[in-house]
């Protein structure tokens, strides 16, 4: 069974006061009238009164009349305290597994009820005296150190005036001057140099699939070089899209195989969270779009300019300091829309669509 917090605090104060300097038991008990009924093994009335006298150091301001009844049960001991003082009657109940603790707490409550201000001042006074002594000792030490430093300075000045070298160290010198202690020259502190933010270099390889400028799904391979700042990403890449078929609407046996070789430049804002980062990249792609006919009596190959605008959100995960994995979805808008037709016919075989979509994933080497 644990004591209540108020009883614990009372015991601590009682112990501190009982060992304070100058505390002695006094025979006079004019201020205290106590009736105590207790079970065997508990403090007697005389013991409680003696403890109260030791705490009060003599006569108190107000008279206190109290009746205490201590009982025991399976949980410990319980003390019922009834006090009559000029302010009226007070009743308190204390519990503890130890009856001796109840006696000390009862004595403290009686003293506090008679003169709380004097008791508090007596407990705080030793602490104030120790603080004042410590302050005086520190002031004395600082004055002595200042005196020794001044004597050392005067001796060095006298040695310089006589043409002699100053002594490397003075027996009166107890500590170096402030400049030597800090290891810094006297004068205003130097301003720190601004820190330059160098970008990270990334080399990556990507596999992609998508539509545009091809008629059907096409597979592409690319490699790129990127520069990454905390809030910005910029990159250039070169890509090659494998041949994909574009056929006539009425005749699937004739048509053209389209291949694309292109370069792109993209940049945009970047957000990072631990090992994850997200970038929104926009840019342009320029290249050569090649069409090779098939199924005709005479198959020809043509090559023309390819230009498109790009917009792609890119998500990257960097599990290692030097390695990152990325995935992106890229939308494109064709600026050059080429049209293909047979030489001997006006029928149009295929026209490059205005838009397209690509999905890509790849691996990146990071050079911090």
Looking at CATH, the fold of the domain delimited by 5-114 is given as: Double Stranded RNA Binding Domain (3.30.160)
- Alpha-carbon distance of 114 to 78, in angstroms, equals 23
In the prediction, which pLDDT does 63 show? Answer: 79
Residue 322 has pLDDT above 70, yes or no: yes
In the prediction, which pLDDT does 119 show? Answer: 66
Q: In this structure, are residues 170 and 152 in contact, taking their beta carbons and an 8 Å threshold?
A: yes
Residue 345 has pLDDT above 60, yes or no: yes
Instruction: From the options 3.30.465.10, 3.40.50.10710, 3.90.480.20, 2.40.160.20, give the CATH code of 200-367.
Output: 2.40.160.20
Residue 181 has pLDDT above 60, yes or no: no
162 three-class SS: coil
Per residue in 73-129, pLDDT (tens digit) is 888 888 888 888 666 778 888 888 888 888 888 888 888 877 776 666 666 666 677
155 three-class SS: helix
**Which pLDDT band holds residue 232 (cuts at 50, 70, 90)?**
very high
253 or 224, greater pLDDT: 224
**Which pLDDT band holds residue 20 (cuts at 50, 70, 90)?**
very low
Average the pLDDT over each of 177-186, 249-258, 294-303 and give the range with the smallest value.
177-186
State which H helix or E strand residue 56 sits in: helix 45-56
Per residue in 132-165, pLDDT (tens digit) is 788 888 888 888 888 888 888 888 888 777 765 5
In the prediction, which pLDDT does 23 show? Answer: 36
What is the rounded average pLDDT for all residues in the chain?
Answer: 80
Residue 19 has pLDDT above 50, yes or no: no
Structural domain boundaries of the chain?
5-114, 200-367
**Which pLDDT band holds residue 2 (cuts at 50, 70, 90)?**
very low
Mean pLDDT, range 51-75, rounded to an integer: 79
**Which pLDDT band holds residue 56 (cuts at 50, 70, 90)?**
confident
Of the candidates 261, 258, 266, 267, the one whose C-alpha atom is nearest the C-alpha of residue 221 is 261
**Which pLDDT band holds residue 193 (cuts at 50, 70, 90)?**
low
E strand intervals along 214-300: 218-228, 232-247, 255-273, 276-294
């Amino acid at each position: 069974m644990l004591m209540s917090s108020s009883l614990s605090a009372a015991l601590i104060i009682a112990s501190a006061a009982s060992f304070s300097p100058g505390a002695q038991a006094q025979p006079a008990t004019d201020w205290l009238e106590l009736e105590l009924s207790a079970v065997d093994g508990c403090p007697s009335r005389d013991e409680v009164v003696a403890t109260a006298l030791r705490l009060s150091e003599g006569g108190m301001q107000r008279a206190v009349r109290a009746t205490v009844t201590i009982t025991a049960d399976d949980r410990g001991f319980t003390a019922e305290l009834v006090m009559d003082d000029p302010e009226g009657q007070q009743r308190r109940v204390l519990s503890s597994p130890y009856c001796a603790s109840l006696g000390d707490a009862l004595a403290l409550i009686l003293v506090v009820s008679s003169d709380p201000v004097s008791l508090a001042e007596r407990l705080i006074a030793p602490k104030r005296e120790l603080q004042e002594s410590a302050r005086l000792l520190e002031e004395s030490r600082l004055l002595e150190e200042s005196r020794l430093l001044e004597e050392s300075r005067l001796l060095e000045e006298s040695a310089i005036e006589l043409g002699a070298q100053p002594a490397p160290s003075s027996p009166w010198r107890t500590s170096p001057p402030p400049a030597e202690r800090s290891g810094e020259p006297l004068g205003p502190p130097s301003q720190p140099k601004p820190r330059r933010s160098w970008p990270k270099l990334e080399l990556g390889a990507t596999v992609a699939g998508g539509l545009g400028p091809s008629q059907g799904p096409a597979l592409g391979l690319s490699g790129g070089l990127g520069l990454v700042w905390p809030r910005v990403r910029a990159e250039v890449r070169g890509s090659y899209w494998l041949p994909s078929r574009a056929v006539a609407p009425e005749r699937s046996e004739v048509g053209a195989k389209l291949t694309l070789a292109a370069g792109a430049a993209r940049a945009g804002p970047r957000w990072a969270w631990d090992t994850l980062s997200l970038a929104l990249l926009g840019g342009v792609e320029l290249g050569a779009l090649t069409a090779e006919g098939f199924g005709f009596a005479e198959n020809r190959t043509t090559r023309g300019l390819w230009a498109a605008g790009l917009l792609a959100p890119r998500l990257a995960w960097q599990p290692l300091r030097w390695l990152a994995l990325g995935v992106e979805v890229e939308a494109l808008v064709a600026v050059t829309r080429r049209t293909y037709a047979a030489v001997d016919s006006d029928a149009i075989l295929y026209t490059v669509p205005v838009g397209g979509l690509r999905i890509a994933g790849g691996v990146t080497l990071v050079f911090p």
